[in-house]
Amino acid sequence: MEKKQYQLGDVVQMKKPHPCGTNEMEIIRMGMDIRIKCVGCKHSVLVPRAKFESKLKKVLRSAAVSEEAGADGTEAGQ
């Protein structure tokens, strides 16, 4: 199994959707515990890192993705 990579500011998808129906959570704090905020209802929860990783399905959007892409200006020309 590949190790999941995530960082502050990433939007992630969990295995079980939030009760509000949204399955997108943004990482708003990283530490011993991880605080994630529901993109749909803005409710935030603090979960232990191990629990977060076991419930994480995938990273939808990475906060750092723009560093490599877009550097050559391909999208800016449109």
Q: Least separation, in Å, of the C-beta of 72 and Zn ion?
A: 38
Burial 26-54 (b: 16+ CB within 10 A, else e): bbeebeeebbbbbbeeeeeeebeeeebee
The nearer residue to Zn ion, 18 or 30, going by C-beta atoms, is 18
Structure tokens of 57?
């399905």
List residues near Zn ion by CB under 5 A.
18, 20, 22, 38, 40-41
Q: Least separation, in Å, of the C-beta of 27 and Zn ion?
A: 15
The nearer residue to Zn ion, 3 or 16, going by C-beta atoms, is 16
